[in-house]
Amino acid sequence: MSYFAPRTDVHVALIVSNNPKAGVLQKAKRFKVPTLVIDREKLYKSNYVLEKFNQYGIDFVILAGFLWLVPQNLVAAYHKRIINIHPALLPKYGGKGMYGMHVHHAVIQAGERESGITIHYVNEHYDQGDIIFQARCQVAPNDRPEDLAGKVQALEHLHFPRIIDTLLQQLPHKERIP
C-alpha cells in the first residue's frame, strides 16, 4: 500500500483477509482502505466475494499471504487479473501446503543452490498459473530456513510492487462515468 500511497492513478480499493487478526488489516486502517474479513462459506459457497468486488469496482486482485485456493467463480471473473507471489522458484516447491517456512525448509533439504520468488497469475490450481516474473537468490551451504526467508523477503519487497505497477499499466483503461 505504501508504494502506491502517493499515486493518484492507482487506488487500493479493498483488503480481504480470512484472518481477523492479520496485520494487513491494521495497515489498511492506517491508510483508510476498507477491509473485508471472510470465512470459507463466504468464499466457496456463495458469490459474496465476487459481489463485494463488483461493489468496490475491483479491477485487479493481488494475493499476498492468502493460502486458500481461489474459487472458480473468481478465477473466471478475473482471468489474468489475479496474481500471487510465491516464496520459491516455481514450478518447484509449490502446491498445497507449500508456503512460508515450509518452502524454505524444503529448498534447503533438497540441497538447492538457489531459490527466489515467483510472481504468477492465479488459476484454479495452487501455484500453477502462468509465471509473470522470477527473481533469484543464492542459497549458501550454511543457510538456515530463516536465512533463506530473509533473502526471499528482500526480493519480494524489491520486486512485487514494481511488477504490480507494470501489470496495472497494461490493464485496459475503463471509461469511468462520474
Q: How far is CA 171 from CA 60, 73, 159, in A?
A: 9, 20, 19
Q: What is the pLDDT of residue 174?
A: 58
Q: What is the pLDDT of residue 173?
A: 67
Asked if residue 175 has pLDDT above 80, the reply is: no
Pairing assessment for the beta strands 61-63 and 131-138 based on DSSP bridges: unpaired
Letter for the amino acid at 87? P
Residues marked as catalytic: 86
Higher pLDDT, 176 or 52: 52
Q: What is the pLDDT of residue 176?
A: 42
pLDDT one-digit tens code per residue, 111-169: 999 999 999 999 999 999 999 999 999 999 999 999 999 999 999 999 999 999 999 98
Q: What is the pLDDT of residue 177?
A: 38
Asked if residue 13 has pLDDT above 60, the reply is: yes
Cell triple for 163: 511488477
pLDDT one-digit tens code per residue, 41-89: 999 999 999 999 999 999 999 999 899 999 999 999 999 999 999 999 9
Domain boundaries, the chain: 1-58, 83-170
Q: What is the pLDDT of residue 1?
A: 62
CATH C-level class of 83-170 = alpha beta
